[in-house]
Structure 1
Amino acid sequence: MNANWYEHYTRWNECESLDPELRQQLTAMHADEKQLADCFSAPISFGTGGMRGVMEPGINRINLYTIRKVSAGLALYLLETYPELTVKKVAIAYDSRKHSQLFAIETAKVLGQYGITTCIFNQLTPTPLLSFAVRHYCACAGVVITASHNPPEYNGYKIYGADGGQITLATAERLMEHIAAAGNELDITPPSEQELYKNGLLHYIDDSLLQAYLEKVQQLRVHPDLSPAIREQVKIVFTPLHGTTHDSITRGLELFGYTQVRVVEEQAVPDPNFSTVASPNPEEPEAFRLAIAYAKQEDADIIMGTDPDGDRLGVLVKNLAGDYVVLTGNQLGALLLHYLLDTKHKKGGLPSNGIVLKTIVTSEMGRAITTDFGVSTEDTLTGFKYIGEKIEAYEKSGAYVFQFGYEESYGYLIGDFVRDKDAVQTALLLADMCAYAKSHQKSLYDAMNDLFSRYGHYAEELVSFTCKGADGMQKISATMASLRNQPPSYIATHPIIAIEDYVSGLRTDCQTRTSTPLTLPATDTIKYFFSDHSWFCVRPSGTEPKIKIYIGVKGTNQCDAQERLAALKQSVLKELGFHTD
């Protein structure tokens, strides 16, 4: 046995006050040396997305004690960073997962032990409302207990900065230092929830916060003048996929004047096991199986569904044959983007220095749309935290006025009173967009085809491969190293014209062999470009043992685009040595 992990295991095993549930789990795995080594090998990783993992005993897992330790580290960080503030506040939210409420309360208790005031939601809450709460209460930070759409056995701890955005890499590094300095996680014994409440160090966030948020979303409407008769014609099926958005979205739709809303009853109740779906991920069509059945009964115009923590939105629309088809994240982003820019342009409300922010793996259709309206587009690295950073920077400098931000993985932001992707405000504006199309005798399916006709037939796909264990991580590393050290010149018969390597920070023109610097931070990502507007991008996942391959093309029509996409996908996977089933 490795002495290092065994030392941590022994420390836990001999702790007389160990939580009973964790004690039972630890006893059950006592003969499994491999699992014990994994659970106790090293502290659970912490980055800009916080920490996420399986709920089990050990320092490399999510549990009561690792939650306490990271909370102590956060407290030490806040005390060092904001010495001038007499009252330091942190907003806390949690999702529908097992132990999420318990972990949220433990977070508040540990922060309170250090004299930090916490404002904790009195019910499970979507992540974007946590971002809003940080800004609304002028808090120093925010914490949300969530593992997004990971399997039920996972949970996580995500930290937001004072701007309401996800923390930066520099902040994450400082937090890691303070977490390490927090000491033995088993020795952190915070005061009771009742004691903190009595001493004014713990406050509960009630319904008034949601009301304030919905008032802000109301101000985003570009067509508030749509007639009640039109809005009443829009038929919506909505599923929160057992998560946090039922109240916020149904109340928002009612406030916006949409009365024909059918909620998928089997998925309306929060369920930590996500019992009706294989995965509570709105990127997966299978998650909408029940919703489609409801939509057929209701003859619905749109189906919308959110992931458990309410920051991603998936949408299905009815095609000409009457079938419900998935809008990709890129397609929904293009629809929203055009709807917002076109309406503002017609009403004279589009600023001359407007900017749209998207990630480097998001469709180039967005750039074609913004160019049409004279609006700037800027790419960021993958992850909405980078979009949030740009919003904050441009708000301070005044160089640009934020119009819209999105990523291909179903994350969108319209109003910057939230600084992370927001499925709630997106769902409400989506209903308005559907009503606007209906007022012109069109569906959103028609509207998407109109965009294809006007801007080009773009198509994209993400292919992910899970590479578990040490061998898997070695395969990911070897793939990225090969792409850098022996970059392909051709994929099939198509020459690569440019390569962007985000580790070296250089864009290389493959014809002239000249390089120009990239302006984005260093990250393990490589993107390749072809002369026909096609591209592919490869990067390891930041949260899972996966390698992700993004592919994009532009065709002469949708059939041509899909054929190009399938051919390029096959060629790229063959080049990289990966195969789909």
Structure 2
Amino acid sequence: MDYQKKYDQWVKHEYFDEKIREELLEIKENYEEIEDRFYKDLEFGTAGLRGKIGAGTNRMNVYIIARATQGLADFIVKKGKAYMNRGVVIAYDSRHFSKEFAKKAALVLAGNHVKAYLFEDLRPTPELSFAVRRLSTASGIVITASHNPREYNGYKVYWEEGSQILEDVASAITENIKLIEDFSIIKEMDEEEAIQKGLLEIIGKDMDDEYIEKVKGLSLREDIDKEINIVYTPLNGTGNIPVRRVLKERGFKNVTVVPEQEKPDPDFTTVGYPNPEDVKAFKYAQNLGKKIHADLLIATDPDCDRLAAMIKNEKDEYIALNGNQTGALFIQYILEAKEENKTLKENSYIVKSIVTGDLGKTIAKDYGVKTYEALTGFKNICGIVNEFEKSGNHDFVFGYEESIGYVAGTFVRDKDAVISSMLLCEAAAYYKKQGKTLLDVLEEVYKKHGYYQEKLISLVLEGIEGKNRIDRMMKIYRDTYPTEIGDSKLAKYIDYQKQVSFDFLKEKEELIDIPVSNVLKFIFDDGSWYAVRPSGTEPKIKIYLYTKGDTLEISQEKIKNMEKIIMKRLEEIE
């Protein structure tokens, strides 16, 4: 069916409500907008759904939520009564329509006689992961678009281990969704009836209490400076209550929240793009930090699964840490503490993504801890933890990726900014008691292991043309790429889509044991490397640059040369 016919169907079919109809009639002569809303169905992948809010098949709305949930319910029903009774737990963030989408999902599940547990109010995404494991549900859903702009919302699905679904489950759900051509066949139960029949249960405080106790149990040291001055911004999202609570219960006495960004705000009025990875998100936190002379600024994204930080230097300036640097500091602090506490084991390991830098891996090796690599995304990072849990002879310590996502412990199987906030504040407070900042510790790490530098470049290419250009870039770059950058020569080329690695020095091709993904990685003879991949959740192509040098200046110069050559080649592809 072409996009105009789909549009006409949505306008005329009595199943769709009057508001949807009015919204669509407003664009009846805007054929470009109609095409964008209906040229495809919003794709359900291993990251679930994510898109702009609005009417249409390529938008987030209650009908698309209902159809996705029917697809999930059909998958669970096929697994049998035991899975249906175990049910699905649902959480949601502070975005527009999150509550409505969450309730719609719950009532569709109930309509299919699959039990739904719905959080009473906003909750951080990692608590959803915890609740899946704690309640032993078959699945979990969280309504969030993470750090996307306010126009977006999303729908992420978790499986029984508490981690996001992998390709096998996602494919099965996708096939079920494709079979639903008529929205009116979707089953749904009235809320009151669902509660009476025990198919909808509201959860809240008890789950919060258990989760917070587990987070506090990850604390490593008590000999810390609990007077450390911290500014925290939840960026108008779900982190405000749990992060403040865990820091207070850990004894931190000087935690000040940015007042303008404390309460939920679906429009993210003060920040626009609520991504703490972007230093602009720290504007209000920096202003407050300067007023009260804060040592540390921390920010969590709207669904509180990612954490960013800025540290005050000796000039009273706030310096932003990127995800690689923060991850390396976590590994240094955790392994150092575990070695002192004699809780580091022979089978301890960490996990990082293939596009995350190697400094954390180098630190881990220094402590005799093995590093495993996974495809991008915590579904893959925690997928390794899930596999090793079955054998029972591996000790998971820490998982992270460069996009400011981190997790410790095994009770959450996703990135967790509540855990990360507590551990980063603890690390900063520990080193402060020793007369050092996290910047001082990072410099010590560099001096010991080499100056690792990194840069992420994101080319935003929206709409149909943007998607097509990203596809062309990946296709052409796969075969025509630079083999020299300055004095550095290409040593190894890895194509994760073809699952092959070619060693230029040995002139040898090998298969790699990592699942298929549209990622290219280029490693040079001086240890520098870069990777190119399309984003799985946003209209972007991402380029990850990494260098290592004996000095900061050498490493930074390598980054500049790498960026210049790679970007020139990519931008030539129209």
| TM-score, shorter chain, exceeding 0.5 | yes
Moved more, 312-321 or 6-15: 6-15
Matched residues, number: 573
Residue 540 (str. 1) matches residue 534 (str. 2): yes
Pick from 507, 512, 516 the counterpart of residue 510 of structure 2: 516
- Paired amino acid for 2:108: V
Residue pairs, 1:279-298, within 5 angstroms: 279-298=273-292
- Unaligned 5+ runs, structure 2: none
Deviation sequence 1:341-363 (CA, Å, 0-9, x none): 11111221101011110011111
The counterpart of 1:162, out of the listed 157, 160, 163, is: 160
- In 2, Cα distance between equivalents of 1:41 and 1:313: 36
Q: Aligned-pair distance for 1:156?
A: 0.9
One-letter amino acid of the structure 1 residue matched with residue 38 of structure 2: F
Alpha carbons of 1:85 and 1:502: their partners in 2 closer, same or farther (altered >3 Å)? closer
- Shift, 1:494, TM fit: 2.6
- The alpha-carbon distance between structure 1 residues 209 and 576, as it changes in their structure 2 partners (threshold 3 A), is same
1:86-125 equivalences in 2 (<5 Å): 87-125=85-123
CA deviations on 1:414-433 (whole Å, 9 max, x unpaired) are 11210010011100111111
The correspondence for 2:398, drawn from 392, 399, 404, is: 404
Describe the SS at the equivalent of 2:85: coil
* Alpha-carbon distance between aligned partners in 2 of 1:183 and 1:499, rounded to the nearest angstrom: 43
Match of 2:190 among 179, 187, 192: 192
> Does the CA contact (< 8 Å) of 2:349 and 2:372 recur in 1?
yes
Q: What is the one-letter code of the residue matched to 2:236?
A: H
- Which deviations, in whole Å up to 9, do the C-alpha atoms of 1:229-273 show, x marking residues without a partner? x21x21110000010010000111110001101000000010000
For the Cα contact (< 8 Å) 1:93–1:144, is it kept in 2? yes
- SS for the counterpart of 1:485 is coil
The Cα of 1:178 is off from its aligned counterpart by 1.3
**TM-score of the pair, normalised by structure 2:** 0.97
> What is the match of residue 316 of structure 1?
310
Matched, 1:28 2:22: no
Distance 1:17 1:173 in 2: 27
- Distance, in Å, in 2 between the alignment partners of 1:487 and 1:572 is 8
Specify the alignment match of 1:307 in structure 2: 301
2:572 and 2:257 mapped to 1: Cα distance?
40
Using the alignment, how far apart are the partners of 2:464 and 2:234 within structure 1? 36
**One-letter code of the match for 1:141?**
S
1:153-302 superposed matches below 5 A: 153-188=151-186, 190-223=188-221, 225-226=222-223, 230-231=225-226, 233-302=227-296
1:367 shift after superposition: 1.2
Q: Residue 87 of structure 1 aligns to a residue in which SS?
A: helix
2-structure distance, mates of 1:190, 1:522? 37
Instruction: Spell out, residue by residue over 1:313-345, the C-alpha distance to the aligned partner (whole angstroms, 9 max, x if none).
Output: 010001121100101111110011111111111
Distance 2:5 2:187 in 1: 21
Moved more, 84-93 or 296-305: 84-93
8 Å contact 1:491–1:575 — kept in the other structure? no
1:482–1:8: structure 2 CA closer, same or farther, 3 Å change rule? closer
3-state secondary structure, aligned to 2:490: strand
Alignment of 1:485-500 (within 5 A): 485-500=479-494
Larger mean Cα displacement after TM superposition, 187-196 or 407-416:
187-196
When residues 120 and 84 of structure 1 are mapped into structure 2, their CA distance, relative to the original with a 3 A threshold, is closer
Give the aligned residue type for 1:571.
I
- 2:366 paired residue number: 372
What letter corresponds to residue 213 of structure 1 in structure 2? Y
Distance in structure 1 (CA, Å) of the matches to 2:96 and 2:84: 35
Contact 1:73 1:175 (C-alpha < 8 Å) held by counterparts = yes
Quote how far apart the aligned CAs of 1:453 are: 1.3
1:4–1:41 Cα contact (<8 Å) kept: yes
Percentage of matched positions with identical amino acids: 38
Quick one: distance in 1 between partners of 2:276 and 2:377? Answer: 17
What is the identity, as a one-letter code, of the residue corresponding to 1:79?
V
Q: Does 1:146 align with 2:144?
A: yes
Q: Does 1:463 align with 2:460?
A: no
Q: Contact 2:112–2:188 (CA<8 Å) still a contact in 1?
A: no
**Quick one: distance in 2 between partners of 1:177 and 1:471?**
27
Report if aligned partners of 1:492, 1:571 keep a CA contact under 8 Å in 2.
Answer: no
Q: Work out the CA distance in 2 between the residues paired with 1:418 and 1:160.
A: 12
> Any stretches of 5+ residues in structure 1 without a counterpart?
none
Distance in 2, matches of 1:354 and 1:25, equals 55
Distance in 1 separating the partners of 2:40 and 2:568? 36
| Cα deviation digits, residues 432-452 of structure 1 (max 9, x gap) | 111110121111111111111
**Aligned partners of 1:360 and 1:380 also within 8 Å:** yes
Return the match for 1:127 from 109, 125, 128: 125
Give yes or no for contact 1:222–1:340 (8 Å, CA) kept in 2.
Answer: yes
Q: Deviations over 1:463-484 (max 9, x none)?
A: 0111233433333222222232
Using the TM superposition, name which of 108-117 and 506-515 deviates more: 506-515
1:85 Cα offset (Å): 4.2
Give how far 1:556 is off. 1.6
1:512 counterpart letter in structure 2: K
Aligned mates of 2:70, 2:479 — CA distance in 1: 43
Cα drift, residue 492 of structure 1? 4.1
Stretch moving more, 464-473 or 26-35 = 464-473
Q: Deviations over 1:259-297 (max 9, x none)?
A: 101000000010000000131000000000000011111
Whether contact under 8 Å (2:46, 2:170) holds in the other structure is yes
Question: What letter is aligned with 2:559?
Answer: L
Partner of 1:14: 12
CA contact (8 A) 1:93 1:127 kept: yes
Counterpart of 1:204 in 2: which secondary structure? Answer: strand
CA distance in 1 between partners of 2:78 and 2:184 (Å)? 24
Which amino acid counterpart does residue 570 of structure 1 have in structure 2? K
**Secondary structure, aligned partner of 1:203:** strand
- Show the counterpart of 2:385: 391
2:567 corresponds to 1:573: yes
CA shift for structure 1 position 523: 1.0
Q: Which letter maps to 1:249?
A: V
CA shift in 2, pair 1:493/1:441, >3 Å: closer
Distance across 2 between alignment mates of 1:264 and 1:469: 35
* Contact 1:95 1:308 survives alignment (8 Å): yes
**RMSD (Å), alpha carbons:** 1.5
* Distance in 1 separating the partners of 2:106 and 2:95: 18
- The aligned runs of 1:398-477 (5 Å cut-off) are 398-477=392-471
User: Structure 1 residue 405: deviation in Å?
Assistant: 0.3
TM-aligned CA distance change 1:325 to 1:82, over 3 Å: farther
Q: Could you tell me which residue of structure 2 aligns to residue 478 of structure 1?
A: 472
1:336 is aligned to 330
Query: Which range is displaced more, 194-203 or 382-391?
Result: 194-203
Following superposition, the deviation at residue 504 of structure 1 comes to 1.6
How many angstroms apart in 1 are the aligned matches of 2:487 and 2:551? 22
